[in-house]
Chains A and B, each alone.
Chain A
Amino acid sequence: MHLLDNESAAAGTRSAALGKASSVPGISAAQPPSMDHLDELEAQSIYILREAFARLKKLALLWSLGKDSNVMIWLARKAFFGRVPFPALHVDTGKKFPEMYAFRDRFGKEWDLDLRVEPCPPIDSVDPTLPPAARSAARKTEGLKLALNKYGFDGLIAGIRRDEEATRAKERVFSPRGTEGEWDVRDQPPEFWDHFNASPPQGAHLRIHPILHWTEADIWAYTKREGIPIIPLYLAKDGKRYRSLGDQDITNPVASTASNIDEILAELDATKIPERAGRALDHETEDAFERLRVAGYL
């Protein structure tokens, strides 16, 4: 360590550390750039997407056109170096906002997605004991079942997050569903150390949740950093904006002046109003959402 003679103590310490690291041939002496919170989230999501692709035979990604599933598609393109190697499935209630359909038609092409649109069955095919908004949302579950039967998917990648809603907080990353798409919340398998249960029984499927660990704020911060396109309904117009996008008739805007993502982030930092406050179906009865999810809703 003759460098110590000529250089400052600090420089000497640094070169000593480098000397140790480079004692094995071919190993870099420079330090890798440290990872920030978004880097960590991204790396974890990519790991999950690659595990799903490696372990399941017939995958599809559920594209609801919202901010979360757009981030998910972006992450899939990162995971697979530019292309999404499985279909993007849009289960269409036919009641989305026109801006959402325009977004789908444009970016389905631009992102070179294998887009499959599955229309939902009419409302009278849905459990009549559910409250009205939940019943309307449950159409989506039925549409999903139709798509599952039609294509035989064994894995559906869905953009739900733990911070959205209390029953989603209890979800697994790889979440088994029954043959009817149902969620057995009493008997979820253990899942740890990024080892996933990826063997659905014959006729059943798995839900894969690559952004389960993200928050609403993470989604916006990442959307901004990566420059991911969004539907303009998320930005305030006439003092209102949508925090969450669903069917036109059961989704309400919130009061807001946020006209860009930075302003959305500042608003989220201060609010105590939950993200899904504008979603009627979450609030009809104490267990409405759990009942929907047990039956196979996202």
Chain B
Amino acid sequence: MNMILPTASISATPNGTTRPQVRIVIVGHVDHGKSTLVGRLLHETGSLPDGKLEMLKAVSARRGMPFEWSFLLDALQTERDQGITIDTTQIRFRTRSRDVVLIDAPGHAEFLRNMITGASQADGAVLIIDALEGVRSQTRRHGYLLHLLGVKQVAVVVNKMDRVDFSADRFKEISEEITAHLIGLGVTPTAVVPISARDGDGVAEHTPRIEWYKGPTVVEALDALEPARPLAELPLRLPVQAIYKFDDRRIVAGRVESGSLKAGDEIVIMPTGKIAKIKTVESWPVTPVNGPQGAGRSVGITLDRELFLERGDIIGHAGQSPRDTRRIRARIFWLHDKPLTKGEQILIRLGTKESRATVVAIEKAVDPGALSNEENTAIARNHVGEIDVSLAQPVATDPYTDNPRTGRLVIEVNGRIAGGGLVLSVDAGRPAVPVDIVPVESALRPDERSARYHHNGAVIWLTGLPGSGKSTLARALERRLFGNGGSPILLDGDTFRAGLNSDLGFSPQDRAENIRRLAEVATHLARNGHIAIVAAVSPSATDRAAARRIADSAFREIYVATPAEVCETRDPKGHYAKARSGGLPSFTGITNDYQPPTGNELTIDTSNRSVTEATDEIERMLATTGILFDELTDLAANI
């Protein structure tokens, strides 16, 4: 509907091309008067087109109803027949300072998807509350959703004041309740306005019936809401929409979501981390364009080199790129009939990227309309919650707090949008753990194994400097346990590096991953009743702590605390000599980067005892900590 105010009271800048335009959504509980307020606003500001008032009178009379403002926006037959708004709609009018696009959103819980569709386009919101009914479930739910949708400017309107005899006390009561609720969501209301939309009190003018109220009218409150600004101050984010090769140019197309770009900029393409320079910024009909292109522009760029990139990648500036991850935590709202449960396969859309994903955890699943905060294990329709998702492919993204445009996602089920929300955190480097993998249980019971081996499963972790004697001790222990009928298995760090871990180097990240893999394999063996003996320098206390978390109660840490000088004189693999001559730059031993353990089960210095004595000590420790049994007396006799 094109409804344009006569120019009498307004400076005649034609048609909103220079005046600020602000988009405002009207939300609130069903029947609290959203559509009526919109109708009244248009009437009070003289924005109704010719013949509209007469049409509304006729439409109302045909249904045997008193004059109904809401029929203006409730254009669908079913809406008029049932007297409720089903879908979101938009209408325009002008105030003194700006062009307003009013978005009317349905208040009925059944049509929450339509409320979200409308509210997501808004710069600000008016939350309407019936003075008689007070704050209701949809009032709270809409308040919460405004917060999730990123609508931060909210004016509250307390409607139907005529039904409570324009009581200042009743207004104060509702005002305090809703203000506290919104502040709890991080939203401070810009105004709380008492009105009667049906009669017009407080909409465009103050009336004597509400003489105790000195704040703004609805029109004045709308005038105070600001249009959202593009994110010019944040680092560049250009999600790639497509790569076009219509002619000899290879144009990367997309919309600048934040920051700006220009020819010559050094860029990084995430999640792959490839680097290039922008050669030209292309346009039509005039090309190329010089100078920077800012947030909000749809652009096309060419790069200085041929490299593979695809729809869904995000271009940023070198040093300020988004994160790459396969795991995301998000706070979402859910719109699908079937509740979202742990383990579910979904499609995630982040900007122009889409990826299959698995829900690995659900927390804080609540009904934002309810007063209680009872938590559920699944997120029901129209409810909210936090989810951890594991993505089938790496994606580039930002936490919402870093970038509200690239830090939000939608969820699709069967090709239809089913929910959406904000990226709370991005877990870089933690690999995906799909929950749809169902481990096959062993056919044997733990007690069957321990009856045969006379021991429980364990991870014996020997840590210490190169040359400290870890491997020697490990081999002796292996022989001893095997001789007693046990099932020891040696996991040597260097042996693993030759095979399973051959893709890893010696950076801190690679060392951590090396330790994680060792710990996982050892723990698997321990769970199946074996004693896994790990001999690995494992210099980082953090990495060893991670290994202990993986193996849990089966973990026994032994610090082979042979003095460094002794280790260097032994130098069984020739590493110290090589490192001294500069051939092993990250060799632990001469760089003093070894972090000795503190909470270890046993410490052994091999410089002052024999291998047999040391092995005995380990055996005793294993007996006293519940790994070895039965043989204890025999062992004691042998010493």
CB < 8 Å neighbour of B116 from A163, A192, A290:
A192
A199 touches B87 (CB 8 A): no
Chain B residues whose C-beta falls within 8 Å of the C-beta of A94 in the assembled complex: none
B241 touches A47 (CB 8 A): yes
Chain A residues whose C-beta falls within 8 Å of the C-beta of B251 in the assembled complex: 81
B76 touches A290 (CB 8 A): yes
Q: Is the C-beta of A24 less than 8 angstroms from some C-beta in chain B?
A: yes
A274 touches B246 (CB 8 A): no
B294 touches A43 (CB 8 A): no
A209 shortest CB reach to chain B, Å: 13
CB < 8 Å neighbour of A54 from B1, B241, B260, B285:
B241
CB < 8 Å neighbour of B50 from A47, A82, A272:
A272
Q: Is the C-beta of A146 less than 8 angstroms from some C-beta in chain B?
A: no
Q: Annotate B205-239 by CB proximity to A: 1 below 8 A, 0 otherwise.
A: 00000000000000000000000001010001000
| Chain B residue at minimum C-beta to C-beta distance from A34 | B294
Chain B residues whose C-beta falls within 8 Å of the C-beta of A38 in the assembled complex: 17
A193 touches B2 (CB 8 A): no
Q: Is the C-beta of A10 less than 8 angstroms from some C-beta in chain B?
A: no
Chain B residues whose C-beta falls within 8 Å of the C-beta of A53 in the assembled complex: 242
CB < 8 Å neighbour of B298 from A47, A195, A269:
A47
Q: Is the C-beta of B89 less than 8 angstroms from some C-beta in chain A?
A: yes
A190 touches B113 (CB 8 A): yes
A32 touches B292 (CB 8 A): yes
A290 to B87, CA, bound (A): 14
Which of B125-133, B415-423, B569-577, B606-614 contacts the other chain? B415-423
Which of B6-14, B156-164, B355-363, B529-537 contacts the other chain? B6-14
Residues of B260-276 contacting chain A, CB below 8 A: 260-262, 264-267
Residues of A12-32 contacting chain B, CB below 8 A: 24-28, 30-32
Chain A: interface residue count, which band?
Answer: 35 or more
A137 to B266, CA, bound (A): 55
Given contacts A162-B90, A270-B6, contact A192 B420 (CB under 8 A): yes
Q: Is the C-beta of B296 less than 8 angstroms from some C-beta in chain A?
A: yes
CB < 8 Å neighbour of B319 from A25, A47, A201:
A25
| Chain B residue at minimum C-beta to C-beta distance from A49 | B298
A216 shortest CB reach to chain B, Å: 6
A32 to B283, CA, bound (A): 16
B2 touches A215 (CB 8 A): yes
Residues of A219-259 contacting chain B, CB below 8 A: 220-221
A172 shortest CB reach to chain B, Å: 7
Chain B residues whose C-beta falls within 8 Å of the C-beta of A46 in the assembled complex: 255, 298
Q: Is the C-beta of B580 less than 8 angstroms from some C-beta in chain A?
A: no
Q: Is the C-beta of A116 less than 8 angstroms from some C-beta in chain B?
A: no
B298 touches A274 (CB 8 A): no
B261 shortest CB reach to chain A, Å: 8
Which of A61-69, A119-127, A149-157, A181-189 contacts the other chain? A181-189
B84 shortest CB reach to chain A, Å: 12
Chain B residue total in the interface (Cβ 8 A): 86
Given contacts A81-B284, A274-B2, contact A169 B15 (CB under 8 A): no
A188 to B89, CA, bound (A): 13
B408 touches A193 (CB 8 A): yes
Q: Is the C-beta of B21 less than 8 angstroms from some C-beta in chain A?
A: yes
Given contacts A189-B417, A290-B77, contact A32 B14 (CB under 8 A): no
Chain A residues whose C-beta falls within 8 Å of the C-beta of B260 in the assembled complex: 28, 31-32
Q: Is the C-beta of B40 less than 8 angstroms from some C-beta in chain A?
A: no
Q: Is the C-beta of B314 less than 8 angstroms from some C-beta in chain A?
A: no
Q: Is the C-beta of B581 less than 8 angstroms from some C-beta in chain A?
A: no
Q: Is the C-beta of B136 less than 8 angstroms from some C-beta in chain A?
A: no
B298 touches A43 (CB 8 A): yes
Q: Is the C-beta of A110 less than 8 angstroms from some C-beta in chain B?
A: no
A81 touches B76 (CB 8 A): no
| Chain A residue at minimum C-beta to C-beta distance from B104 | A169
B417 touches A197 (CB 8 A): yes
Given contacts A167-B75, A272-B50, A274-B2, contact A286 B292 (CB under 8 A): no
A190 touches B114 (CB 8 A): yes
Chain A residues whose C-beta falls within 8 Å of the C-beta of B352 in the assembled complex: 51, 54
B266 touches A25 (CB 8 A): yes
A216 touches B2 (CB 8 A): yes
Q: Is the C-beta of B560 less than 8 angstroms from some C-beta in chain A?
A: no
A236 shortest CB reach to chain B, Å: 17
Given contacts A190-B114, A195-B417, contact A26 B296 (CB under 8 A): no
Chain A residues whose C-beta falls within 8 Å of the C-beta of B282 in the assembled complex: 81
A36 touches B87 (CB 8 A): no
A136 to B577, CA, bound (A): 95
Chain B residues whose C-beta falls within 8 Å of the C-beta of A34 in the assembled complex: 294
Q: Is the C-beta of A143 less than 8 angstroms from some C-beta in chain B?
A: no
Q: Annotate A69-107 by CB proximity to B: 1 below 8 A, 0 otherwise.
A: 000000001111111010000000000000000000000
A165 to B89, CA, bound (A): 11
Given contacts A24-B319, A28-B292, A32-B260, contact A215 B241 (CB under 8 A): no
A273 to B2, CA, bound (A): 8
Q: Is the C-beta of A266 less than 8 angstroms from some C-beta in chain B?
A: yes
A272 to B410, CA, bound (A): 40
Q: Is the C-beta of A191 less than 8 angstroms from some C-beta in chain B?
A: yes
Chain B residues whose C-beta falls within 8 Å of the C-beta of A188 in the assembled complex: 87, 113-114, 117
B425 shortest CB reach to chain A, Å: 19
B417 touches A190 (CB 8 A): yes
Q: Is the C-beta of B48 less than 8 angstroms from some C-beta in chain A?
A: yes
A195 to B320, CA, bound (A): 25
B242 touches A190 (CB 8 A): no
A54 touches B242 (CB 8 A): yes
B241 touches A192 (CB 8 A): no
B297 touches A43 (CB 8 A): yes
Can you list 8 A-B pairs, Cβ within 8 angstroms, ordered by A?
A27-B236, A81-B283, A85-B246, A163-B1, A192-B116, A193-B410, A215-B15, A221-B15
A54-B241, A286-B62 given. 16 additional CB < 8 A pairs?
A28-B261, A32-B297, A35-B296, A35-B297, A43-B255, A50-B253, A77-B285, A85-B246, A169-B1, A170-B76, A189-B416, A192-B149, A192-B410, A268-B4, A273-B49, A286-B77
Q: Which A residues form the contact surface with B (CB < 8 A)? A: 24-28, 30-40, 42-44, 46-47, 50-51, 53-54, 77-83, 85, 162-167, 169-170, 172, 185-186, 188-193, 195, 197, 199, 201, 215-218, 220-221, 265-266, 268-275, 286-287, 290
Q: Which B residues form the contact surface with A (CB < 8 A)? A: 1-4, 6-7, 12, 14-18, 21, 48-50, 59, 62, 73, 75-78, 86-92, 113-114, 116-117, 120-121, 149, 230, 232, 236, 241-242, 244, 246, 249, 251, 253-255, 260-262, 264-267, 277, 282-285, 287, 291-298, 300, 311, 317-320, 335, 349, 352, 408, 410, 412, 415-417, 420
